[in-house]
Amino acid sequence: MSTSVSQAPDRRPRRGGRLGYVIIGLVVAVCAVGWAVIMANAGRTPGISQQTITYRILDDSRVEVRWQVAKPSGKRVRCLVDAVDVNFAPVAEREVIVPAGQSTLKRTDLLQTTRRATAARVKECRTM
């Protein structure tokens, strides 16, 4: 004659699960920070800093942009200043060359637009 003894299920909590979640969380956090750093610097030229100070819409065909750029004094830089309409379509564009020997440039440009602009900016500055 045989008797069967039923065993009670093991009710102890699993311990390895939390450590796995912590490691996965740390890996995801490191990847997110790395991606944010890459995206913040994508398309930028090291050592060149451009800034739109103000813009003013004068009328349907003119916009005034005040901007500045800082760069290494030994580099020649090409800056692109533009204006866009309500749909972010370009309505004016001007290229400005900042010569070598000058480390900063602050200027005001008057752009003639093809239709009314809603914003203007210094779009980019790159070495030549």
pLDDT in tens, the chain (128 residues): 556 555 656 666 655 578 888 899 999 999 999 998 888 777 666 789 999 999 999 999 999 999 999 999 888 999 999 999 999 999 999 999 999 988 899 999 999 999 999 999 999 999 88
Examine the domain organization and report whether 65 and 87 are in the same domain: yes
**Token pair in block for residue 27:** 């890996």
The answer to whether residue 70 sits within a structural domain is yes
The answer to whether residues 61 and 113 touch, using CB atoms and an 8 Å cutoff, is yes
The answer to whether residue 31 sits within a structural domain is yes
- Name the residue range of residue 113's domain: 49-127
Distance CA 126, CA 14 (A): 57
* Number of C-beta neighbours around residue 86 at 10 A: 11
Examine the domain organization and report whether 88 and 32 are in the same domain: no
DSSP 14: P
Examine the domain organization and report whether 72 and 41 are in the same domain: no
The answer to whether residue 97 sits within a structural domain is yes
Examine the domain organization and report whether 72 and 110 are in the same domain: yes
